[in-house]
Amino acid sequence: MVLPVWFEVGSLVVLLAILLADLLLIIKRPHIPSAKESTLWVVFYVALALVFAALMWVFAGGEYAGQFVAGWLTEYSLSIDNLFVFVLIMGQFSVPRKYQQKALMVGIILALILRGIFILLGAAIIEQFSWVFYIFGAFLVWTAYKQAFPGADHDDEEKKESAVVRLLRKTVAISDEFDGSKVRTVVDGTKMFTPMIIVFAALGMTDLLFALDSIPAIFGITQSAFIVFTANIFALMGLRQLYFLLGGLLDRLKYLHFGIAFILAFIGVKLVFHAMHENELPFLNGGEHIEWAPEISTWMSLGVIIVSMIVATGASLIAAGREARNTPVHTTTQAAEVVADEKGTPATVQEHPEEHSGPPTGR
């Protein structure tokens, strides 16, 4: 079975409408979302993805539905890793918390546009040159190694500004201060861009760089450009709310990068096996297909992805709980406040002295 054209077009129209409505809601009412609000939005987008997978099962069969779910989970897990860098960007540019939602949403929309172009190019290359899977597979294995063992200078590399941001600083006039969530402002009678334009560019380009490994990874699960793109949309749609929901929890997911590295390595090996099975390179096996190379099924890929994330998240939370039990309460609270202040995210524990009926007590 194949997906009907009306289903593909209708799905993209509905998803675009949801994204625009979400953006308009942020512009109209900028605020710091509560944990409850963020949770409801994340649940809504996850449920929407599952409904979409169910519809795909009805119209195209279980194989396509499985490819979408595996691709979506892969992109979602890699997108969670993006949040670490988003936190650094928000802190680096001192974006007011009230306007971080708009910055994230615009950055995500820019990333989707750029990813769409990347996906179309990737699909065209794969259709013409099947040997590109060798390159994708080797690249993912290398990326997995760098993900698992980033090195001491990893944080410094993440904090460096991209070439696009440096070019913006040099070519356009940018004010020193934010003017709400505006992109343009007037300073001493002169129209200028606000630092928000730099934040948009930094978020969009950073996400595109992450796509250099995530999109080849999802092409290792499916060769349908439509499934690749929709999996990216669903993974990024709830990313803004997940950013606020996780908050300080990101620092507790200390083993997440190992889970992501394992997923990338697994898909990289799967791509190499697929390239061997479809081999057309004349210097390998005389240009003939390598029949002994195994074909890893979509459902096995889905199982590996789910188990990897469950193990990595579970191990992280167990380790964090053990550390919390061995850490004095006042130190934990102060650490949460410092991290929240430095990274521009809502504190995990927020105290409101005005709610206490008695006088404050000192430590």
Q: What is the mean pLDDT of the chain?
A: 76
Q: Who's near 265: CB < 8 A, 6+ residues apart?
A: 140, 141, 144, 145
Single-letter code of the amino acid located at 54: A
- 19-36 average pLDDT score: 78
Residue 177 clears pLDDT 60, i.e. is over it: yes
Label residue 251 by pLDDT band (50, 70, 90): low
In this prediction, residue 359 carries a pLDDT of 39
State how far the Cα of 142 lies from the Cα of 136, in Å rounded to an integer: 10
Q: What percent of the chain has pLDDT over 90?
A: 4
pLDDT band at 163 (very low <50, low <70, confident <90, very high): low
User: What confidence score (pLDDT) does residue 118 get?
Assistant: 82
Contacts of 347 (CB under 8 A, 6+ apart): 247, 248, 336, 337, 340, 341
Residue 250 pLDDT level (bands cut at 50, 70, 90): low
The percent of residues in the chain predicted with pLDDT above 70, rounded, is: 82
Q: Look at strands 190-193 and 184-187 and give their pairing.
A: antiparallel
The pTM of the full predicted model, rounded to 2 decimals, is 0.69
Q: What is the mean pLDDT of residues 241-245?
A: 77
* 134-154 pLDDT per residue, tens: 888 888 888 888 878 876 444
With a cut of 90, say whether residue 50 has pLDDT above it.
yes
What is the C-alpha separation between 222 and 75, in angstroms, rounded? Answer: 13
Query: Would you state the pLDDT for residue 47?
Result: 93
Question: What pLDDT was estimated at residue 292?
Answer: 74
Q: Tell me the three-class secondary structure of the chain, residue by residue.
A: CCCCHHHHHHHHHHHHHHHHHHHHHHHHCCCCCCHHHHHHHHHHHHHHHHHHHHHHHHHHCHHHHHHHHHHHHHHHHHHHHHHHHHHHHHHHCCCCHHHHHHHHHHHHHHHHHHHHHHHHHHHHHHHHCCCHHHHHHHHHHHHHHHHHCCCCCHHHHHHCCCHHHHHHHHHCCECCCCCCCCCEEEECCEEEECCHHHHHHHHHHHHHHHHHHHHHHHHCCCCCHHHHHHHHHHHHHCHHHHHHHHHHHHHHCCCHHHHHHHHHHHHHHHHHHHHHHCCCCCCCHHHCCCCCCCCCCHHHHHHHHHHHHHHHHHHHHHHHHHHHHCCCHHHHHHHHHHHHHHHCCCCCCCCCHHHCCCCCCCC
For 315-342, the pLDDT digits (tens) are: 888 887 787 777 665 554 454 455 445 4
For residue 170, the model assigns a pLDDT of 75
For residues 247 and 345, is the Cβ–Cβ distance under 8 A? Answer: yes
pLDDT above 80: residue 42 = yes
The least confident of 14-18, 110-114, 245-249 is 245-249
Q: pLDDT (tens digit, 9 = 90+) per residue, 52-103?
A: 999 999 888 888 888 999 888 888 877 776 777 777 777 777 888 777 877 8
Rounded to whole angstroms, the Cα distance separating 198 from 193 reads 9
pLDDT score recorded for residue 162? 58
C-alpha 211/C-alpha 188 separation (Å) is 41
**How high is the pLDDT of residue 342?**
45
For residue 52, what pLDDT is reported? 93
Distance of CA 346 to the CA centre of its chain: 19
